[in-house]
């Protein structure tokens, strides 16, 4: 993990805490799919077959669990639960989702956040779930079907093409970008990746913003910590789009009781793996001004 030490001291990054938290055992976490069942009903059923559930305090519908592999359960196959990191679950909660709106999830596979967005919107409105990968799109389609997300449509193209037909058509956009993945626990990562990802990320954030209606909200997120993939990407959008404004998601996350640090771009948040027992994320929330 040599190169990662270069991040020490940047925007609250602590290499020693990173090294410790990234390799410690991870508790599995499940989200109850409220499109299909009530939370209490699913919990009772899981506890009756010996699952030991501990409620995650920041969500009404999510639990840490011990023992059994949740992917091998009937409840999983039936789409009553999804396996998802709680840091990932935070992101749809920050999107100002409402019933009946039109949402674009630009980099959606395998659909953890898409299916959660669908559940928050109570199956109403429309979600276009797009991904460029032929392999990963299969998992996305399966998860959407398994979870009964009837408001989701799958699109398979490079996200940079979406403004061709989606310009200013969406109330809400998520760009959960491909990245070098330093924040994912249980994986040892080496330096590198930012050079590969940063140009693509700049194009994806720009495409996502083009697709946003005036007045709409976009989230840009990664699970990595290099400024080249995070703050620099957000700054490139702010420089090229005079109608792009940062919404203070740092305060919003703190208000939900989770720990995070203010990023190098004021109002964007960095969640490190040692903060809340979650994977690490960078999150920016951007509003498109109504005026040009
Ligand atoms: C971090 S993952 C998305 C995870 C997903 N949002 C979830 O919560 O399950 C990034 C995704 O971006 C996709 N991707 C990579 N390049 C892309 C591009 N040019 N356009 C659209 N999607 C792309 C990858 O295939 C990958 O599935």
pLDDT (tens digit, 0 to 9) for every residue of the chain, 292 residues total? 558 888 999 999 999 999 999 888 888 999 999 999 999 999 999 999 889 999 999 999 999 998 678 888 999 999 999 999 999 999 999 999 999 999 999 999 999 999 999 999 999 999 999 999 999 999 999 999 999 999 999 999 999 999 999 999 999 999 999 999 999 887 766 556 688 899 999 999 999 999 999 999 999 999 999 999 999 999 999 999 999 999 999 999 999 999 999 999 999 999 999 999 899 999 999 999 986 5
Burial 113-122 (b: 16+ CB within 10 A, else e): bbbbbbbbbe
Looking from the CA of residue 131, the nearest atom of ligand 1 is: 22
- Report the separation in Å between the CA atom of 229 and the middle of ligand 1, taken as the mean of its atom positions: 14
User: 105 alpha carbon to ligand 1 midpoint, in Å?
Assistant: 9
* pLDDT score at 29: 95
Rg of the chain over all Cα atoms, to the nearest angstrom: 18
As for ligand 1, residues whose beta carbon falls within 6 Å of it are: 88, 106-113, 131-133, 136, 158-160, 176, 178
Atom of ligand 1 nearest to the CA of 91: 8
CB 224 within 8 A of CB 177: no
Q: 213-249 as b/e, with b when 16 or more CB fall inside 10 Å?
A: beebbbbbbbbbbbbbbbbbbbebbeeebeebebbeb
Assessment of whether the complete model's pTM goes beyond 0.95: yes
Here the tokens at position 138 are 């299969």
Cα of 224 to ligand 1 centre, how many Å? 14
Å from CA of 129 to ligand 1 middle: 10
Q: Which of 104, 172, 160, 111 is closest to 132 using CA atoms?
A: 160
Let me know: does 231 contact 268? Beta carbons within 8 Å.
yes
d(CA 33, CA 153) in angstroms, rounded, equals 18
> Atom of ligand 1 at shortest distance to CA of 174?
6
pLDDT at position 46 is 92
Residues whose CB falls within 8 Å of the CB of residue 89, separated by 6 or more in sequence, listed in order? 29, 31, 56, 59, 62, 116
Q: What is the Cα–Cα distance from 219 to 198, expressed in whole angstroms?
A: 17
To the query of whether residue 223 is one of the catalytic residues in this protein, the response is yes
C-alpha span between 138 and 5 (Å, rounded) = 37
Do the beta carbons of residue 161 and residue 205 sit within 8 Å? no
Q: Whose CA is nearest to atom 2 of ligand 1?
A: 178
Scanning the structure block, which residue is given the tokens 């989230």?
Answer: 219
């Amino acid at each position: 993990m040599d190169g990662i030490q270069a991040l020490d001291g940047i925007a609250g990054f602590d290499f020693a805490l990173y090294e410790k938290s990234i390799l410690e055992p991870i508790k599995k976490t499940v989200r109850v799919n409220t499109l299909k069942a009530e939370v209490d009903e699913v919990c009772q059923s899981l506890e009756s077959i010996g699952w030991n559930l501990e409620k995650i305090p920041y969500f009404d519908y999510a639990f840490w669990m011990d023992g059994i592999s949740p992917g091998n359960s009937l409840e999983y196959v039936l789409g009553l639960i999804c396996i998802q990191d709680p840091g990932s679950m935070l992101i749809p909660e920050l999107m100002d989702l409402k019933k009946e709106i039109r949402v674009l999830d630009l980099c959606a596979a395998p659909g953890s956040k898409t299916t959660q967005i669908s559940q928050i919107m109570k199956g109403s409105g429309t979600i276009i779930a797009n991904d460029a990968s032929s392999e990963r799109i299969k998992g996305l389609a399966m998860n959407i079907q398994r979870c009964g997300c009837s408001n989701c449509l799958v699109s398979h193209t490079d996200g940079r093409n979406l403004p061709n037909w989606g310009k200013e058509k969406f109330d809400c956009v998520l760009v959960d970008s491909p990245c070098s993945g330093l924040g994912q626990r249980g994986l040892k990562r080496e330096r590198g990746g930012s050079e590969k990802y940063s140009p693509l990320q700049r194009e994806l954030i720009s495409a996502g913003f083009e697709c946003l209606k005036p007045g709409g909200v976009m989230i840009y997120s990664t699970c990595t910590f290099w400024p080249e993939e995070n703050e620099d990407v957000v700054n490139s959008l702010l420089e090229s789009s005079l109608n792009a404004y940062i919404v203070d998601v740092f305060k919003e996350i703190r208000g939900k009781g989770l720990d995070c640090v203010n990023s190098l771009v004021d109002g964007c948040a960095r969640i490190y793996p040692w903060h809340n027992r979650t994977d690490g994320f960078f999150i920016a929330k951007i509003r498109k001004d109504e005026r040009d």
